[in-house]
Amino acid sequence: MPAYMIVTVRVHDRERFLEVYGKPTAALIQRYGGRYLVRGPGCESYEGPRASGLAAVVSEWPSKAAIEAFWNSPDYQVLKAARQGLAEADVQVLEVP
């Protein structure tokens, strides 16, 4: 069953973030079976202050297991470490029942 990864992120250096993290992560997501549904800056909160001004990424995956394989892969661990200091992220996973 499909699963979704929902990420909100506060990027401190957008140009460097895209080069060091965004582009290589996009290729890795595709390799693990994920696809972006939406991604970009400019979140606007209608309720609660948390998301205003953040970037958001929603990706669809064939299963939660595919997300876990990506998330725990050695390749992603390197990218995740590179993201530190460039951005603060909140990541949620939702599996469709």
- Using CA atoms, how far apart are residues 79 and 88, in angstroms rounded to an integer? 14
Enter the tokens of residue 15. 């140009």
What domain range includes position 27? 3-39+59-95
Structural domain contains residue 51? no
Single pTM value for the model: 0.89
- The CATH number assigned to the domain holding 12 equals 3.30.70.100
Structural domain contains residue 50? no
Q: Report pLDDT for 97.
A: 84
Q: Report pLDDT for 68.
A: 98
Q: Which of 7-11, 19-23, 30-34, 45-49 has the lowest mean pLDDT?
A: 45-49
Structural domain contains residue 54? no
Structural domain contains residue 53? no
The answer to whether the beta carbons of residues 96 and 16 sit under 8 Å apart is: no
pLDDT in tens, 45-85: 888 777 778 899 999 999 999 999 999 999 999 999 999 99
The answer to whether the beta carbons of residues 29 and 67 sit under 8 Å apart is: no
Enter the tokens of residue 20. 């060091």
Structural domain contains residue 82? yes
- Number of domains observed in the structure of the chain: 1
